[in-house]
Chains A and B, each alone.
Chain A
Amino acid sequence: MTLWQTTFWDLRYYFAYVPLGFLGLIRWTCWLIRRIPAALYRPATADFRLPLSVVVPVYQEDPVIFAQAIESWLANEVDQIVLVIDSTDSVCQRVARRYPVTVIVTEVPGKRDALRRGWEACYTDLVALVDSDTIWAQDVAAEVCKPFADPRVGGVGTRQNVYNPRGFLQRVNDMYLDYRYFDENSAQTVVGRAVSCLSGRTAVYRRKLLLEVSHDFMTETFLGVPCMSGDDKRLTTLILERGHLTYLQRTARVWSTFPGTVPVFFKQRLRWARNTWRSDLRALSRRWVWRHPFLAYTMLDKAVSSFTLLISPTFMLIALVERNWFFVWCLAGWWWVSRSMKILPHLVRRPSSFFLVPGFVLTSFMMALVKICALLTIRKQRWLTRQVQVKDGVVVRTQQTRSEAPV
């Protein structure tokens, strides 16, 4: 054999050392099923505008961030800004009074009631449900209206990123957000226009649809327990149930604060995971979801991945115990490379995140455990990061004293 032939045959067998097992093949296939349509995503470009109100439930927000957010909304020249502020939050009430906004002070704890009060107080066709720490780009209002040119569209979501991320956890959150908006939501928009969740940080709905779903929204229960969190998931699902479409307008960009400490990070993730399990399990048990097969597929895939994600670290643990260092290094390298490929949109935006990928991989394994824990505690209704809980079917405060630090 010639040297080239020898080299080729030898090199070929190095491919065998790429530790992609059959499960990895399946996972990559599932990802490509999302990634291919996501790559073909385009935002709506129709020059379409409707009157837009902003409804913001406010509860113990950082006053500086709150003020910056209000200013960003005002910069969008929306028709109306309604701030529903909890009665215990006098600081934010004082901040709100500095701006030309409508302030509703509410004695009723809980985000859902605040939202409801807000959209009932609006008069525009479109209502943007916004978190009090969410800062808008100057063209969000214009961009979110464009998809509504299609009368079938009932709700529109925006692209979110972490506000000035610092520290490992906030950088990881930013990576997760880019992964979500460049992958899952984009694919759901392209295939079927049925985004599974319009994130509550900024979600725009037709007001009349919100009024229709008010009752169902407020009286949601799961296995007999009234639901408190997961309002964004619930609204999206109610909209989709009624045959409307949901759309991701990725050119509408917003920034929001995310937790930087480990306990709050995991509490938030646990809450979100419970919301997702409740919403997706309920949806998969209903017929409407099967009208959106791609949406159903993504829900199933998300459920299954919670478990399959733990198989790879199990092999790694076994290899570490057996001191099979070659396999350990191969698998670790593959984790780094494969995850980097899956979050390429974020890496293109922030190349330095490449060095955070190993930590991101380990965090995702922990998130799989969190998801399983959430499944096992699916009936628990606690905000975890707010001092409210459901007691005897009613949302009540768990702590009377206002904390100066926002959650």
Chain B
Amino acid sequence: MRVRIRGSRLATVARLASVAAAVASATAVAAGGVAVVWAATAAAGTAEVAATAKVAGTVAALPTPSPSSSPSPSKPGGPPSTPAQRAQNNFLRTSELDKAAWSRVGEPDRLIIVRAMSVDVVQNGTLVTHTHRAGGTVTVSWLAGALSGNELISMPSRDTAVLSAALLLTSGTNMQIGPGVRRLLLIGGTSPASASWIRCEHATLTMSGVTLSSLRAGNDAHWRPVPASWAGRPYVYAAAGGRLDVFGSTISDLGRPRPAGFPGSATLARLLSVSGVAGVTWGKGSTGSAVDARFERNLVGLLLDESVGVRLSHVTVEHAVLDGLLLRGDRATMLRDVVSRSNGGSGVIISGPGTRHVAGLRAAGNAAAGVKAVTQTGLVLTGVKTAADLGGGVRLVGCVRCTVNGLEAVGDHRTALTISGASHDVSVIGAHLDGGQTGIAVTAGTRAVTLRGAVVTGFSRSGAEVAATDVRLLSSRISGSPVGVRVYGPAARIQLSGVTVRGGRDGVTVTRTAGAVSLSDVAVIGVSHDGVTSASAALRMSGGQISGGHIGIALLAPAAIAGVDIDSAVIGIHVGSGVKAKVSGVDVVAERDGIKVEVRGRVDLSGSLIRAPIALAGAGYISRDSLTVLSLPPVPWLGFTAIAAVLLAIILQTVHQLRHRSIPVPRVARHVRNTA
């Protein structure tokens, strides 16, 4: 039976008729367990009319199965002979495709599959609705209208939609959310199958000016989002070949936790693609962009998992339960003004293979590190800014041939910059680090690290801590930390050159376990305790200046000191018991002892100028050549002169007072009071 329908006036009649036909068809094929209603759609009075409206379509009822003339539904492979048979075969084929898709995407309770020419609804694995459409962009309101009988998408108000099913956009489809619909809520539940989500596979999903969030199933009027601990929390996922663009939108309260029983991080990628831990994911091979977008309170804010060419511009990721932004194996990602803050994990994690240049990142107030790069090769981080991240500013773990340019870390807790995990060939240039516990930490197991032009200020423990090998700290300034540079542990072949340490308690300390430490042109100014303290047997110090402090250079192990200027220290150089040191070309002005050598210690002094009240002190042995000059320190004449001038002024005034003591108080009218 074919019925031609024209105009919207008969749409209702057509619908009723189609329902009657569907009931009849359903009765006829009920034994097969499949109920399908073919319906012609007619939409009137909406924008979607242009896409699908006023379809003069056909309403076809399923033919009564004929055992002789048409292929049985149980045999879909047979050649169809009648239109009804062909329709049935198409239906079966669609059903199988939908079922396969349903199975692939985690077997949700309710699944909407948007195809190029149709929209299917699959419930519990059964195709229940197959709606033909004319193609074009799918919108939420059109979808709500097309599926109005299923209550899968409701629109409680004109600009709000509630999605109660998983939504799969398949190849060739294009869906637009907003700006007509300004708020889209995805229903979530306690189980993954009950949740709604949106995935696009080789499809395009565009969100513009929309707030996308989750909504608890069976919710009351308060419209609360789905808690982060619920397994059925919604998410958005751009799969292979998909394109996801987010403009001026806010996406919040999405992303489900890893289901119980799933393995750990070794299969995280697959895990993420299946379970959608992140609130929004650009999956493998997907692309797209996010501009002026906010991602809030997602489980993981945003994930780029082997995506290609995703552009993130003016994006804020905040208050994620776990990490904010995960970059995992992505390629050609463009970042500009991306802020990740106040997340429960790290602000940004960069992992996965590939050489990357990352710029324009800002992280603040995250519970873990601001930016963490894991096992990266050739990574270039430029212009990263971190602030007040509880786990430190930037962490490079197991990174090789990586470069950090222009890092700014302010007020990060713990360590502003950490290089660890057997990293090597790492360069850090022009870092500005301010406030925290430790400025720079290069841990044991790491090697070949160069830090140049760093400005490190105001750390509560130390400016830099080095336990690695082949580390160079060049042309840097460290101030306001109790210890400027600490070299410890298995550190070896450490070079400090052109480094200035200002203030604090100790300038440079080298522990006994460290080996081959070289200090050249290092300036330590205004420390309160020791300028340089070394217990390492292989300290070489040449050039530089030490000003202030109690001991200029304290040697607890053999060392070679050359060409260093020491002034304003109480003791210029202190050599410990049993220690041998070679000192040449130094200029020492000390307040008490120039060079003090403890018992069994020995200093070979050459070509030096030692000025102190006691130039050479201690029970140890000091040998000096003829070029070494010993003398008293210069007298601070100006200081003495100032004191003398003040005393003289007082004396002169006293003399003057005495000479004029007999002069009486003037007699003047009483109204004049300034007569003293």
Contact = CB atoms under 8 A, between A and B. Distances in A.
Chain B binds chain A: yes
Interface of A: 1, 6, 9-10, 12-18, 20-22, 24-25, 28, 32, 35-36, 38-43, 68, 71-72, 75, 135-139, 161-165, 174, 182, 251, 253, 255, 334, 337-338, 341-342, 344-345, 348-350
B674 A345 contact: no
B674 A174 contact: yes
Interface in B623-661: 636, 638-643, 645-646, 648-650, 652-653, 655-657, 659-660
Contacts of B675: 253
A342 B645 CA distance: 10
Contacts of B671: 68, 164
Given A15-B640, A16-B636, A251-B663, A345 B669 contact: no
Contacts of B395: none
A22 B650 contact: no
Nearest to A8: B613
> Which of A21, A40, A135, A137 lies at the interface centre, i.e. has the most chain B CB atoms within 10 A of its CB?
A137
A6 B613 CA distance: 10
Mostly, the A contact residues are: helix
Contact of B669 (A10, A24, A68): A68
Contacts of A15: 636, 639-640, 642-643
A120 to B, nearest CB: 30
B81 to A, nearest CB: 94
Nearest to A140: B666
Contact of B649 (A40, A162, A255, A342): A342
A182 to B, nearest CB: 8
B2 interface: no
Contacts of B643: 15, 18
Given A164-B671, A253-B675, A341-B646, 20 more contacts: A1-B614, A9-B592, A9-B613, A10-B591, A10-B592, A15-B640, A18-B642, A24-B642, A28-B641, A35-B649, A35-B652, A38-B652, A39-B653, A165-B674, A182-B656, A253-B668, A338-B646, A341-B650, A344-B650, A345-B653
B9 interface: no
A325 B639 CA distance: 19
A350 B650 contact: no
B327 to A, nearest CB: 39
Contacts of A9: 591-592, 613
B653 A137 contact: no
A18 to B, nearest CB: 4
A161 B674 contact: yes
Nearest to A16: B636
A114 to B, nearest CB: 25
Nearest to B570: A10
A42 B659 contact: yes
Contact of A163 (B592, B667, B672): B672
- Which 4 pairs from chain A and chain B are nearest by CB? A15-B639, A20-B642, A341-B649, A16-B636
B673 interface: yes
Contacts of B221: none
Contacts of B260: none
B673 A164 contact: yes
Nearest to B653: A344
Contacts of B638: 16, 18, 20-22, 24-25
B668 A16 contact: no
B668 A345 contact: no
Nearest to A344: B653
B676 interface: yes
Contacts of B614: 1
A72 B666 CA distance: 13
Given A72-B669, A164-B673, A338-B646, A348 B653 contact: yes
Contacts of B667: 137-139
B198 to A, nearest CB: 55
Interface string B569-594: 01000000000000000000001100
Contact of B657 (A139, A338, A348, A350): A348
25 contacts: A9-B591, A9-B592, A9-B613, A12-B636, A13-B568, A15-B639, A16-B638, A17-B639, A18-B643, A25-B638, A28-B645, A32-B645, A35-B652, A36-B652, A39-B652, A39-B655, A164-B672, A182-B656, A251-B663, A255-B668, A334-B642, A338-B646, A341-B650, A342-B649, A348-B653
Contacts of B674: 161-165, 174, 255
A227 to B, nearest CB: 32
B166 to A, nearest CB: 60
A306 B674 CA distance: 30
Contacts of A24: 638, 642
Contacts of A35: 649, 652
Contacts of A36: 652
A68 B646 CA distance: 41
Contacts of A38: 652, 656
B652 A20 contact: no
Nearest to B644: A28
A255 B672 contact: yes
A344 B649 contact: yes
A337 B659 CA distance: 25
Contact of B639 (A16, A71, A345): A16
Nearest to A164: B673
A17 B676 CA distance: 37
A135 B673 CA distance: 12
Contacts of A18: 638-639, 642-643
A143 to B, nearest CB: 9
A25 B652 contact: no
B150 to A, nearest CB: 69
Nearest to A20: B642
Given A20-B638, A72-B669, A253-B668, A337 B646 contact: yes
Given A164-B673, A253-B668, A345 B656 contact: yes
Contacts of A338: 642, 645-646
A20 B613 CA distance: 24
Contacts of B653: 39, 344-345, 348
Nearest to B635: A12
A162 B674 CA distance: 7
B435 to A, nearest CB: 15
A22 B638 CA distance: 8
A350 to B, nearest CB: 6
Contact of A32 (B648, B669, B673): B648
> Which of B568, B641, B650 lies at the interface centre, i.e. has the most chain A CB atoms within 10 A of its CB?
B641
Contacts of A139: 666-667
A20 B638 CA distance: 6
A135 B672 contact: yes
Nearest to A138: B667
Nearest to A161: B674
A393 B636 CA distance: 58
Contacts of A21: 638
A6 B657 CA distance: 39
A253 B649 contact: no
A40 B639 CA distance: 27
A354 B646 CA distance: 15
> Which of B645, B648, B652 lies at the interface centre, i.e. has the most chain A CB atoms within 10 A of its CB?
B645
Contacts of B673: 164
Contact of B668 (A13, A28, A42, A138): A138
Contacts of B649: 32, 35, 341-342, 344
A189 to B, nearest CB: 14
A392 to B, nearest CB: 43
A350 B673 CA distance: 12
